[in-house]
Amino acid sequence: MLRLLKFEINELSQRKGILRICLSSQIMLIILILTLPKEVLLTVTMAFSSITSMFIMYALDVTKSFSNTPGTDKRKLLISFPVTRREYAFRSIVLYTAYIGAQVVVVVIPALIAAIKTPGILVVIPVLALGIIISLGAIVGAMFIFSFVTGTSVKSAVLSIIAIMPLFIYVGYLIGYSSVDGKLPSIWICLIALLVYVLGVFVELVVTPRID
Amino acid sequence: MKMLEVNNLCKKYKKFALKDINFSIEEGYVMGLIGKNGAGKTTLIKTIMNQILKTSGEVIVNGWDNVTYEKKVKDMIGFVLVDFPYLSGTTLLNNGLLLGSYYSEWNQEVFIEYLQRFKLNPEKNYAELSKGMKTKFQLAFALAHNPKLLVLDEPTAGLDPIFRREFIDILCDLIRDEKKSILFSTHITSDLDKIADYITFIDKGEIIFSDSKENIQDKYHIVKGPISSFHQISNMNYVGLKKNETYFEALILDANTLKEDDILGLNMIIPKLEDIMLFMCNDNINGGVSNNA
Amino acid sequence: MDVVIINNSQVPIYEQIINQIKLQIIEGKMHVNSQLPSIRQLAKDLQISVITTKRAYEELEREGMIYSMIGKGFYVSDQNVEILKERQIQLIEKAMIDIIRECKKAGLTVDKAVDMLEILYEGENV
């Protein structure tokens, strides 16, 4: 198991190009934050974070069920080596959860820096962070569940996107909502998201290795 | 000691199934796997390697069940497969370093030696390799961790004739110590005419026969004769009959039981594997005139 | 050791190997107690299955043409001269039968054939 994670870290360090892009976009974002007027600040922050997060997703091979990106081949590759299905499942779970953490960091740090200039943002930051964790947690859980159900093909990619689209919309809503009001999402929403995440982990770790 | 045992293996898909696959390979021998496209060769290999989960039955490698001891078994298998997705963003050397570490007996020096022997530049990016070079890479990788079972799926397609000869020689040397076995699945049956000790023929997900090449060549003979002599074979066990106004030919299935008198005036030819496949598969397609006792 | 395989012949490969080795032993090209290539080496050289070479060697051993030493390999046996002679005579008989068939086709009587034989036999001694 450790070997798998070491392998992922090794592989990640190979993708120097992408990591450089992530770092530069973060730095650019921080520069923009320190120079832009506060009206456009949050929008710009969100936009840049989305771009950065896309690159992080690519770097981490998070695109599992969506089309012919390396992610789907990765399973085919690793399962042929002395790796059990359960180990591979665990690797996926760690990777995706780390992605959630990375996404939070990529948003929170620039927001904190922006708060230097516009202290009003401070109130919004916990909501932002929580919103990201909730929605991405639910998305990751849903991805695990749907990859089990549909396998990998164009049809399943479309189905996955349709299933996950409402969640992406909800992410946007949460972020927009929090940026206006600063109010934390209700406890029920948090619980549902947690449930979906846990269910997804269960499916990935226990169910999928038994049937695929 | 059997290196590979497949017992009552089944794999069900919606539109296709492997049914009751039974065969085995002893240490030190080469088993050829032949069959049409879509017959189930690749599915069978994927199931043996546990790339896909079987529906029922068992696969035992060197005495270990391939599900219960998944890692141990995979550690013993070296493979050359079609379109295997090694890491394209990086060098051959790195592929070895990153992926070789999964194997308990990985030897990076041996890996580099094989790369050089096959005229591959270790610093080259995997994505830049041609199809043939990718196959050579897979072979170098497979040999570098001292596998007990070598699984080859169409390994010689895309190789030039010079390297194909070297490939066969490498395989011969590999099994010389009689501690390893090879499963060789291919369309290029001429390779198996040479190196294979045993042949398993699969069609529509079922095993048609699995036997030593010697036995196969004793039992199966092509019979060819003038049309006037056709009556001579009417009581024999044959498939894939072809006949016109001048001559007939068919594949006899129990040639070793025939006597001199039975085949007087007829030509009996020892078939190549390709011939056997042609006669047997044609039989199935044409719903041909066959005489199976 | 000289062995040439013809593929697609009507003669099974193991038989071809047996015949060729036998011939070489009879002709004295392989000496008594000289070692034959190992089963696997021969298979590799001829690019055939080891089961085939094994079958050929086992048959030769059964006929007493070669013997094996465990862990060491196969060697040419001390050949019984009588057996060799008998084999030669069998070959000659077969050739004679073929010639007789040809003679009959051409309408040659047995006396004429014997005459021809005597002349040619003399000719060979010169």
Give me the phi and psi of C27, to 5 degrees please: -75, 0
Question: Which band of pLDDT confidence, cut at 50, 70 and 90, is reported for residue B17?
Answer: very high
Computed over every residue of chain B, the mean pLDDT equals: 91
| Helical ranges in chain B per DSSP H | 41-48, 70-76, 92-100, 108-117, 131-143, 161-174, 189-195, 213-219, 273-286
Residue A197 three-state SS: helix
Helix (H, G, I), strand (E, B) or coil at A48: helix
| A80 to chain B, closest Cα gap in Å | 6
Higher pLDDT, A147 or B260: B260
CB contact under 8 A, A80 and B99: no
**Res A63: pLDDT:** 47
Query: For B51, which of A11, A14, A79 is closest by C-beta distance?
Result: A79
Angle (nearest 5°) at CA B202 between B200 and B205: 140
The chain B residue lying nearest A71, using CA atoms, is: B85
Question: Which of A18-27, A194-203, B171-180, B284-293 has the least mean pLDDT?
Answer: B284-293
Cβ distance of B213 and C12 shorter than 8 Å: no
For domain C13-76, say whether CATH 1.10.10.10 is its number.
yes
CB contacts < 8 A, A to B, total 55
Q: Decide if B267 and C48 are in contact by the 8 Å CB cutoff.
A: no
Q: How far is A187 from chain B (nearest CA, A)?
A: 41
Q: For chain A, say whether B212 makes contact (Cβ under 8 Å).
A: no
The span from the CA of A95 to the CA of A97, in Å, is 6
Token readout for C18 is 């047996």
Measured between CA atoms, the residue of chain C closest to residue B171 is C44
Q: Domain span at residue A110? A: 2-205
- For a pLDDT cut of 70, what percent of chain C falls above it? 94
Q: How far is CA C112 from CA A67, B123, C94, C106, C107, in A?
A: 90, 82, 20, 12, 10
The predicted-structure confidence for A170-200, as pLDDT tens digits, reads as follows 655 655 555 555 566 677 777 888 888 898 8
Buried b (16+ CB within 10 A) or exposed e, B143-165: bbbbbbbbbbbbbbebbeeebbe
Q: What are phi and psi of B150, to 5 degrees?
A: -105, 120
**Cα–Cα distance for residue pair B264/B225, rounded to 1 Å:** 10
Amino acid at A75: R
Reported confidence tier of residue B145, pLDDT bands at 50, 70, 90:
very high
Among B39-43, B135-139, C54-58, C60-64, name the one with the lowest average pLDDT: C60-64
Which burial class, exposed, middle or buried, applies to A33 when counting CB atoms under 10 A from its CB (0-12, 13-18, 19+)? buried
Sheet containing B221-226: order of strands: B238-243, B247-252, B221-226, B267-269
Domain count, chain A: 1
Q: Nearest Cα to A167, choosing from A148, A193, A147?
A: A193
Residue pair B92/B146 in contact (Cβ under 8 Å)? The answer is no
The verdict on residue A108 lying in a domain is yes
Q: Which chains form contacts with chain B, at 3 or more CB pairs under 8 Å?
A: A, C
Residue B181 to chain A, least CA–CA distance (Å)? 18
Residues 34-53 of A with CB under 8 A from B: none
Q: Is the Cα dihedral A125, A129, A134, A139 positive or negative? A: positive
Q: Cα distance from A120 to chain B (closest Cα, Å)? A: 44
Q: How high is the ipTM of this complex?
A: 0.85
Give the pLDDT of residue A67.
36
Within 8 A of C48 by CB-CB distance, chain B residues are: 194
In DSSP terms, B91 is beta-bridged to B125
Question: Is pLDDT above 70 for B39?
Answer: yes
Binned at pLDDT 50, 70 and 90, residue C82 comes out as low
Q: Tens digit of pLDDT for each residue in A81-96?
A: 999 988 888 888 888 8
Q: How close is the nearest chain B Cα to the Cα of A19, in Å? A: 14
* Mutation for testing the C interface, residue in B198, B222, B270, B276 having most C CBs under 10 Å: B270
Nearest to B146 by CA among B193, B117, B119, B179: B179
A95 domain-assigned: yes
Assess whether pLDDT exceeds 80 at residue A1. no
